A and B are shown apart, each in its own frame.
Chain A
Amino acid sequence: MTGFTDLQFIFRFCPVILGLYYLVPAHWRRVVLILASLVFYGMGDLRFLPLLVLLMLLNYAFSGPVQAHRRWSLILIVTLDALTLIAFKALAALWGGCFLPIGLSFYSFRMIAFQADLYTGRVKGRGEGWTGFLQTCLYFCMFPQLVSGPIARYGDWEGMNVFSGEEEKLPEGERLLACLRRIEQGLYWFIPGLAMKVLLADHLAMCWNEIGTIGYESLSTPLAWLGVVVYSMDLLFDFWGYSLMAAGLGVALGFPFIRNFNYPYAATGVSDFYRRWHITLGTWFRDMVYIPLGGSRGGLFRTAVNLLVVWLLTALWHGVTLNFILWGMLLYLMILWEKMVWSNTPRLRAVIGRIHVWLCVPLTWIIFALSGTSDLIAYFRRLFFLDAGGNVSMTDFARVGVPYLGFVAVGLILLIPDLGLWYERHKNAVLMKLICLALFWASIYSAAGQSSNPFMYLRF
């Protein structure tokens, strides 16, 4: 059981946990959720469960002094969290990915944000006594957000009532219905996310895999361009779908909805794009790095330096290889270009911004995808009709590309913000619920096929 699309997770883990969670008295729910999260993590990778628990306890231990504005406590614990992440990233870079604990990139960021928010007073306090301890631990390890985010903030949880026991005043039947309503509300988000991941992203991934099978040096130019579109959309819908599932699970458990994507391809420029893409990560870097460095208040040069630091760190967070650094630096240059050169000519700026979002950003995803320098060079040569030493067949577009054009079309339609807004307005309608149900079972059918058939992606 590693992901939210696993049938074990959907039909065994979730019902059991949700059942327990809502059956126990409200003040026990945190305990149920913490234990469930540890079980979830342990089933993914038991080796690093002690590391998670240790970091949780240490961060709680330091949170008292940090809350009391002890500067050295903050520096010490943030350094410890950051060093743990850096050390494992470095190990992974040297020895391969198997030494990177699942979700470390995300939970260490939550821990750092937690301490910083406590110190600066962005959150009122971590809570007192046993409740505060449980709430803190839960924030660090809550299973929907443990493995791949979103990186929620401790302050987001203020005003939640699922632990307050208000429901317990309701009569028995009403109480049950109130719980069911929460789960139903979670499904509003979970199901579209599941469908995005299973029905759309996983099929686009098959196309991208077939493109790799040909070899980048042998792609025909039309297929190479289709590959840019396919990979960009695969990445978006995979992660957006995942984020929606995570947010939906949170809602089902009584937590606030967290928006991690906001129609990024509707952005007006690269900086806007990254305010709409993986929002919780962007916000983290803004609050934890950019603003502490002075943000844009120190003049143009200082802003440029601060942005450079942010993008360098963003690149390294994604991976410690050359292609990620190249990816980050190109985005940085585009943002500078938009900010410094075109900001005084709004009309031209708008055109340049769209070109960046629709053409340059998808091309940067190819850099993001290909960690081998020779692969990268070959791919870009083929994009521009240059020979890359391969064996090009002009019929590859018809063979590999055309079967997936339907998925690409659906993906393109889903980029339109109005569609999502329309869904949000009508999600309570019976017809919409029936559509969601159909999508759910279609996704389950497809996911069942993939899990029982490990060769789905390798159709020989």
Chain B
Amino acid sequence: MEEKNRQLHRLHHLEHYLMILGIAVGALILTCAGLLGRRGIYRDYAYSYADAPLLQLALTGMADGVMPFTEAEYTTVYGDPEADHEAGYDVVRGEAVELQPLFEEPRTEAEPEPDESDVTEEMGEDEMTEPEVSDEPEEEAPAEPEEAEAPVEPEEEIPAEPEVYELEAVTDDYFCDALFLGDSRTVGLSEYCAPLDERAVFFAKVSLTIFTLMNKVFIPDEERGTINVETALADRQYDKIYLMIGINEMGTGNTEYFLNAYTEVIEQIRALQPDALIYIQSIMHVTKAKSDAEKHINNANIDLRNSAIATLANDHDIFYLNMNEAVDDEDGALRSELTFDGVHLKAKSYELWYDYLKNHAVVRPQDEIYRQPEGGAAAETEEEAQSQGVTEEPEETDE
């Protein structure tokens, strides 16, 4: 009897240690999850015992929607270098492999509903984990054009003597039938460049990456609620399409991996918009301070990726615009007075970007009316454009 009372007494006291128990048990479970997942579902996550306790791994996985103690199917993607080309970015999360085409995202049930709240989550999956392809990330030279999977513009489609355009100055109305695609930097452009926002269409979203650009559902549509860029591009033809994307994925994959994704996006856009001029804008630099402090988001890596995507231009209907000329200092970094966080332009700095676009436009016959009158900005820009080497030779594949 006495023994029983004492036991009851002990049990009663359990509530005095409830928090410590809850923490200990939770930590134990998550540590086990991390330990098991390290060789299983989380094996592609960058993790080292020295940097964080094991439960960090499980928590990171959960943030990505990869729940502990779940099964995931594997094929040995990384053991096979040739497979890297085929592997979609979902490989990053140890989920599906052999995604073809790259962007159909056969996600598992773990994929969160596309809404505002998954903005950071999206960031998470792009940044927190690195596929092994990034183990030797940016040191290697940009991918040789031969390796770029497909030619951007198959030769047979190029007219016998393609007209090669040069970049000239245009009026505001040039952008009336333009579309801007991009991440938060383009969001800023639409927010703080009224003349452009009044005329052009913007499909831009914070944390967008080249991997999510086409399929992320974020564009409001009257009939269908929200749609993705692919659907929106099928709906309506645009005359000019500007892209500025690539800063969020600096920590994901290597240059080749990025270029492949970029190439596919350009191909998709070209297929949906056969007559549009495509402007590939360089990824804007970050400040020197930011660049020096960052492992991935630094200007050396940005330059590698920029020179890779520059090879996609053909100077016929795909152009590369090195907009960094408008915002760089002598070190080739974003001028520090133009920004607060070292990455985004301040509201009043967007004008520089817009001026650059206005002075570096292709005037096709149908755009003649938008040409800036001779003299003034136009004359100056032509000279500039040539000295910049914006009009690189089109890169072709040997196929």
Q: Which residues from chain A sit less than 8 Å from chain B, CB to CB?
A: 7-8, 11-12, 177, 180-181, 183-184, 187-188, 191, 209, 212-215, 217-218, 389-393, 395-396, 399, 403, 430, 433-434, 436-437, 440-441, 444-445, 448-449, 451-456, 458-460
> Which of A217, A433, A453 is B124 in contact with, Cβ under 8 Å?
A453
Nearest chain B CB to A350 CB, angstrom units: 40
Residues of B within 8 A of A452 (CB): 52, 56, 59-60, 124, 128
Task: Determine the distance from Cα of A10 to Cα of B378 in the docked complex, in whole angstroms.
Answer: 62
B348 within 8 A of partner (CB): yes
Q: Does A184 lie within 8 Å of B120, measured CB to CB?
A: no
Q: Which residue of the partner chain B has the closest CB to A12?
A: B53
Given A399-B191, A448-B59; A437-B127 close (CB under 8 Å): no
Task: Determine the distance from Cα of A183 to Cα of B16 in the docked complex, in whole angstroms.
Answer: 11
Residues of B within 8 A of A455 (CB): 123, 127, 248, 251, 297
Residues of A within 8 A of B248 (CB): 455, 460
Q: Does B191 lie within 8 Å of A180, measured CB to CB?
A: no
B240 within 8 A of partner (CB): no
Q: Does A460 lie within 8 Å of B206, measured CB to CB?
A: yes
Residues of A within 8 A of B18 (CB): 184, 430, 433-434, 437
- The number of residues on chain B lying at the interface, defined by a beta carbon within 8 Å of a beta carbon of chain A, is 50
Query: Within residues 298 to 334 of chain B, which ones have a CB less than 8 A from any CB in chain A?
Result: none
B95 within 8 A of partner (CB): no
Q: Which residues from chain B sit less than 8 Å from chain A, CB to CB?
A: 13, 15-20, 22-23, 26-27, 51-53, 55-56, 59-60, 62-63, 116, 119-120, 123-124, 127-128, 183-185, 191-192, 194, 206-207, 247-248, 251, 297, 339-341, 343-344, 346-351
Give the 7 A-B CB pairs with smallest separation, nearest first.
A218-B347, A215-B346, A448-B59, A437-B22, A212-B340, A11-B53, A391-B348
Of B23, B52, B55, most buried by chain A (CB within 10 Å of CB) is B23
Nearest chain B CB to A187 CB, angstrom units: 5
Q: Does B63 lie within 8 Å of A456, measured CB to CB?
A: no
Q: Which residue of the partner chain B has the closest CB to A440?
A: B23
Given A214-B347, A215-B346; A459-B206 close (CB under 8 Å): yes
Residues of B within 8 A of A183 (CB): 20
Q: Does A433 lie within 8 Å of B56, measured CB to CB?
A: no
Q: Which residue of the partner chain B has the closest CB to A217?
A: B348
Task: Determine the distance from Cα of A16 to Cα of B349 in the docked complex, in whole angstroms.
Answer: 51
> Which of B20, B116, B191, B247 is A460 in contact with, Cβ under 8 Å?
B247
Q: Does A449 lie within 8 Å of B63, measured CB to CB?
A: yes
Task: Determine the distance from Cα of A209 to Cα of B346 in the docked complex, in whole angstroms.
Answer: 12
Task: Determine the distance from Cα of A183 to Cα of B297 in the docked complex, in whole angstroms.
Answer: 42
> Which of B17, B183, B192, B207 is A391 in contact with, Cβ under 8 Å?
B192
> Which of B16, B23, B128, B348 is A218 in contact with, Cβ under 8 Å?
B348
Q: Does B344 lie within 8 Å of A218, measured CB to CB?
A: no
Q: Does B59 lie within 8 Å of A218, measured CB to CB?
A: no
Residues of B within 8 A of A389 (CB): 348
Residues of B within 8 A of A441 (CB): 26
